[in-house]
Amino acid sequence: MIARATWCEAREPESYPRLGRPTALVVDHATDTRAATAETLERCGFTVFTAGSAREVEQVTAGLAGPLDLLVTAVSLPDAQGEALALLVRREGLRPPVLYLSDRPWEEPDAGWGPDSEGVVVSKPVEELELERRVQRVLGL
């Protein structure tokens, strides 16, 4: 039996809107969620930065040399809400698509979240294949 390739294994580098290795920022106060999400995105070819709070996000985004292709953030952090975090990143001159990670399974997935209602929501814990599918959706691939 031939195993089905995941999106990350099958995608072509030119499937991204810009040339080069895409960059993602993963923000979650839960260390295990942050690490698992970062690992999946790295396997998908992203350069990944991580942060556990809004304060850490300010430090990371201030040091970025190029664009940010994806923001993955918890809906709720100890020092900020995910939507406020998306606005904070935009004040830094970045406009990445946003994937929100929710601790609340009753929040409607794909309901259009964020400052422009363009974000996508997925409930935690997120399995790898589901994360890949949601990343594809939020990137418009």
Looking at per-residue pLDDT, the higher value among 124 and 6 belongs to: 124
Q: Which of 62-66, 76-80, 103-107 has the lowest mean pLDDT?
A: 103-107
| Residue 65 exposed, middle or buried by CB count within 10 Å (0-12, 13-18, 19+) | exposed
Q: Which of 11-25, 82-96, 103-117, 125-139 has the lowest mean pLDDT?
A: 103-117
pTM > 0.75: yes or no = yes
The reported pLDDT for the residue numbered 56 is: 92
**pLDDT confidence bin for 50, thresholds 50/70/90:** very high
Per DSSP, what are the bridge partners of residue 7? none
Closest among 52, 43, 36, 50 to 21, alpha carbons compared: 43
The gap from C-alpha 124 to its chain's centroid, in whole angstroms, comes to 13
The reported pLDDT for the residue numbered 108 is: 54
Q: Which of 32-41, 72-81, 114-123 has the lowest mean pLDDT?
A: 114-123
- Provide, for the chain, the percentages of residues in helix, strand and coil under a 3-state DSSP scheme, each rounded to the nearest 5: 35, 20, 45
Architecture of the CATH domain 20-139: 3-Layer(aba) Sandwich (3.40)
The Cα-based distances of 74 to 8, 15, 48, 81, 98 in angstroms read 22, 26, 16, 8, 10
Q: What ranges in 2-139 are assigned the alpha helix state H?
A: 7-10, 31-43, 54-62, 82-91, 128-139
Domains of the chain by residue range: 20-139
